[in-house]
Amino acid sequence: MLYDEGGAGTPILLLHGLMGSARTWRPQLPWLREFGHVYTFDAAGHGRPAPAELTTEAFVADLAAATAAITEPMVVIGHSMGGLHGWMFTAAHPDRVRALVVEDMAPDFQGRTAENWAAVISAWPQPFPDEAAVLEFFGPVAGRYFLASFRHDPDGYRLHGEVPTFRDISEEWGTRDFWSQWKSITAPTLLIEGEHTITPPGQMRAMAAVHPDARHVVIPEAGHLVHDDQPAAYRGEVGKFLRRVLF
């Protein structure tokens, strides 16, 4: 579940989004190795068993146990669900995090439901017979994300987890907020938002406003998968941040 991706120096931990996998970070690994020792991580329920309770705290406890051997404070970089898990991990273990990057995730989705979204996913024509079918169905950006995440079986590509699990992870976000944990964090933080974000309007900007050392940037022409959609802009912002906090 924890993969050593090489490099030397400060540990950098990459956390993927919902329905993603550690493999979704592969295009970012070469340049991130210039800044430290890079690790990727498969969240519980994504190609391996989910926690008994599908709470954010349970996922963070699983992450904390899996990374216990990394004793030096880490830079934690998370996308979407991984961004939430990153700041919840930082709130629970502030001594283990040196700096934080949160990509396109906000603290309060209360009132939203994943029921319709889960129904759409359940109707996907799985298995997809080959890579071309995945790219045709999802498009080049999301298609590459899912190619890196899906299980590749002899008959084609399919989800590497259960739709009810993914649904219930998202459903929890519609029943609570995570502001108190966010407000407890003091580690230097970069907040990256796509121009075409999935987050509630203004929340990521508000996150920066209540943090003692956070910078909020909006990446033009980027959707939710900022690091895949606008990789050069993403690298520029994250690289500038890492040079500030590490060197």
Half-sphere exposure of 31 (CA within 13 A, CB side): 15
In this predicted structure, the answer to whether residue 115 has a pLDDT above a threshold of 90 is no
pLDDT of residue 114: 83
State the CB neighbour count (10 A cutoff) for residue 136: 12
**What is the percent of the chain where pLDDT is above 70?**
100
* Dist CA 59 CA 95 (whole Å): 19
Q: What tens digit of pLDDT does each residue of 66-110 get?
A: 999 999 999 999 999 999 999 999 999 999 999 999 999 999 999
Q: Which of 111-115, 145-149, 150-154, 159-163 has the lowest mean pLDDT?
A: 111-115
**pLDDT-based confidence at 246, cuts 50/70/90?**
very high
Burial of 72 (0-12, 13-18, 19+ CB in 10 A): exposed
Mean pLDDT, all residues of the chain: 97
Instruction: Write the CA distances from 85 to 44, 101, 140, 232, 243, integer angstroms.
Output: 12, 11, 27, 25, 23
Verdict on whether the full-model pTM lies above 0.95: yes
**What is the percent of the chain where pLDDT is above 90?**
98
- Complete domains list, the chain, with CATH: 2-109+178-246 (3.40.50.1820)
